[in-house]
Amino acid sequence: MNPAQAEAVAALLRRGLLVDDDDGPSLADVRRARVPLTDAEAVTVTVPLVETLDALHDAGLAYGPPRPDGVRFLPGGRPALVVPRRWADEPDDDVPGLLRTVLSVMTPPLRPADEADDGPDLRPVLEDLLVRGCRSGAEVARVCFGTVEPEAVRIPDAGALARASLLAPAARPAPGGGTALPGPTRRAARRRARRRAHVRTVAVVVVAIALVGGVLLRPVVDRAVAGQVEPSAGVDRAAAGQVGSSAAVAVDPVLDRTAPEAAAAALTRQRAALIGAGDAAALGAVDAAGSPALGADEDLVASLDGDRLEGLSVDVQESDLVAADPDEPAVSVTSATSPYRRVGESGTTTVPGATPRTVVLHLRWTDAGWRVWAVGEPTA
């Protein structure tokens, strides 16, 4: 790096456009702890960063494709790029790499391609820039501003960021270069994938239960994984494949709108922990506000009267998406529970394992991600 380039970097540092690796939460941290970015939030992230890349290019420097961990949020939610450990040799993938990263953390497409849009959609615009090989930050900024009005990025609080990091740990590669978060990019394919989702697994967590006389009545799904989806229609497959390349972070499935089965698994784990701890006040992190599930779980915690449920596990034998509504999916689950002990002040009661039983878990999408609305019986 020559003196002029060093001064350019120092100026960007002084302006807060380049930052150190520990300055604020990363884009990866934020995405783990909340729902995907809206189009308006994506504009707020994209424009300052492409302008920083342009400034680096003007100084004869190449950053490399920015990763989610290479983007930091300063106080007030302003994004900045982390100073890379080494500068790239060529700038050709700087702007396209940023576009891939932004696409990977945006709200996934929810409407079929043949349905009319309700308004401007930033995703196809960014995909088009990526396919065309756009390397101009100024052009990206112009197109973004011409498509959607920017809005401030909602940054989760420190507690939410810490919880998400514990729930979904991930390797943190060096900023600059590499691949971005995976992101589904085909509306119609997503709907088909959700209809055919089918998994089998064994879990070793406490199931959500209703306890009457020591008998388990309501086993629920624990773990499922939705299938991959194809690149978006009309987008070059090679370029779109780069958008959905290997993950840099693991996203909390509760915040993944495309995989309600996996969300049901995570919610079941959280719900079991809350019920086992008797923490009725925290059940809103699992059950939707005002829902039958919340009322039932509050009653369940009260019925335990401070007792613990030790050694309980669930064998999830089958999980099928039976209603693929984007906001209120239903998952049919067949599972069996293990023997466990109910431990309380009055003593310990051993409860035998249960035979497999099928229920339907109804979820609802909220501003905080997936929540359980109700648990019902399967239809004939």
For residue 58, what pLDDT is reported?
94
Residues 203 and 134 in one domain: no
Residues 47 and 94 in one domain: yes
User: CB neighbours (10 Å) of residue 266?
Assistant: 22
Instruction: Provide the CATH number for the domain around residue 205.
Output: 3.10.450
User: CB neighbours (10 Å) of residue 74?
Assistant: 14
Residues 207 and 265 in one domain: yes
- Show the CA angle centred on residue 242, arms to residues 170 and 68, nearest 5°: 35
Helix 3-14 × helix 39-58 angle, to 10°: 150
Q: Is residue 172 part of a domain?
A: no
List pLDDT tens digits, range 274-285.
Answer: 777 777 888 888
Instruction: Output the CA–CA distances (angstroms, integers) from residue 102 to 20, 108, 154, 268, 340, in the order listed.
Output: 20, 11, 15, 30, 46
Could you tell me which of 140, 141, 69, 148 has the C-alpha nearest to residue 107?
148
Residues 145 and 221 in one domain: no
Residues 92 and 217 in one domain: no
Q: Is residue 179 part of a domain?
A: no
Residues 200 and 77 in one domain: no
Residue type at 71 in one-letter notation: V
Instruction: Output the CA–CA distances (angstroms, integers) from residue 320 to 143, 263, 286, 316, 374, in the order listed.
Output: 41, 13, 21, 11, 16
List pLDDT tens digits, range 315-327.
Answer: 777 777 888 888 8
Residues 138 and 7 in one domain: yes
Instruction: Output the CA–CA distances (angstroms, integers) from residue 207 to 3, 54, 95, 179, 261, in the order listed.
Output: 62, 52, 46, 36, 15
For residue 185, what pLDDT is reported?
32
For residue 225, what pLDDT is reported?
29
**SS3 track for the chain:** CCHHHHHHHHHHHHCCCEECCCCCCEHHHHHHHCCCECHHHHHHHHHHHHHHHHHHHHCCCECCCCCHHHEEECCCCCEEEECCCCCECCCCCHHHHHHHHHHHHECCCCCCCCCCCCCCCHHHHHHHHHHCCCCCHHHHHHHHHHHCCCCCCCCCCHHHHHHHHHHCCCCCCCCCCCCCCCCCCCHHHHHHHHHHCEECCCCCCCCCCCEECCEECCCCCCCCCCCCCCCCCCCCHHHHHHHCCCCCCCCCHHHCCCCHHHHHHHHHHHHHHHHHHCCHHHHHHCECCCCHHHHHHHHHHHHHCCCEEECCCEEEEEEEEEECCCCCCEEEEEEEECCEEEEECCEEEEECCCCCEEEEEEEEEECCEEEEEEEECCCC
Q: Is residue 158 part of a domain?
A: yes
Q: Within the chain, which residues score under 70 in pLDDT?
A: 109-120, 163-251, 312-314, 336, 380
* Non-local CB neighbours of 187 within 8 Å, separated by 6+ positions: 109, 110, 111, 112, 113, 115, 232, 233
Structural domain of 206: 187-230+252-376
For residue 367, what pLDDT is reported?
83
Domain final residue, candidates 167, 196, 211: 167
Residues 111 and 156 in one domain: yes
State the Cα–Cα distance between residues 326 and 324, nearest whole angstrom. Answer: 6
Could you tell me which of 67, 68, 59 has the C-alpha nearest to residue 91?
59
Could you tell me which of 294, 224, 291, 293 has the C-alpha nearest to residue 264?
224
Claim: this prediction has a pTM higher than 0.75: no
State the Cα–Cα distance between residues 106 and 244, nearest whole angstrom. Answer: 12
Residue type at 61 in one-letter notation: L
Residues 202 and 158 in one domain: no
Residues 212 and 323 in one domain: yes
